């Protein structure tokens, strides 16, 4: 596993910008309805390693099903750069939409499939 590094990213229009200390060793490609429809590739990081640099006032939130994840999206361009929630151990986590990381080379990543479609 590689060491976490500083990654920067944001939404399409640039109003929402973030930095996160994260490793991209495990990038999840989930087949649930929200991930497939939004094109999410997910990387997980502790909430303490995430900094929202700008755009708090441009964010809205969407929740569904068990209302555990707080999916954030830009109210101007509609892009969903991250969500907030809890890890399996109850710790605060941030899920980064890897497609929103600046200059990301998606072809260099190893994707881990996840069957979120069939979770109960």
Q: Hey, where are the domains in the chain? A: 5-113
E runs forming strands in 1-120? 5-10, 17-22, 27-30, 42-46, 50-54, 59-62, 70-74, 82-86, 92-97, 111-114
Average pLDDT, the chain: 93
The CATH number of 5-113 is 2.170.150.70
28-39 pLDDT, tens per residue?
A: 999 998 899 999
Tokens 């151990």 belong to: 89
9-35 pLDDT, tens per residue?
A: 999 999 999 999 999 999 999 999 889
Q: What is the pLDDT of residue 88?
A: 85
CB 4 within 8 A of CB 21: yes
94-120 pLDDT, tens per residue?
A: 999 999 999 999 999 999 999 989 975
73-91 pLDDT, tens per residue?
A: 999 999 999 999 998 899 9
């Amino acid at each position: 596993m590689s060491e976490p590094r500083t990654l920067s990213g944001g939404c399409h229009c640039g109003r929402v910008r973030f930095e996160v200390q994260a490793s991209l060793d495990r990038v999840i490609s989930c087949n649930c309805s929200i991930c497939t429809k939004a094109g999410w590739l997910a990387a997980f990081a502790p909430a303490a390693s995430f900094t929202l640099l700008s755009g708090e006032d441009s964010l809205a939130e969407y929740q569904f099903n068990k209302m555990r994840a707080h999916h954030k999206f830009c109210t101007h361009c509609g892009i969903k750069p991250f969500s907030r929630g809890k890890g399996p151990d109850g710790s605060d986590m941030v899920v980064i939409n890897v497609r929103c990381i600046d200059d990301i080379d998606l072809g260099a990543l190893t994707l881990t499939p996840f069957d979120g479609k069939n979770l109960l």
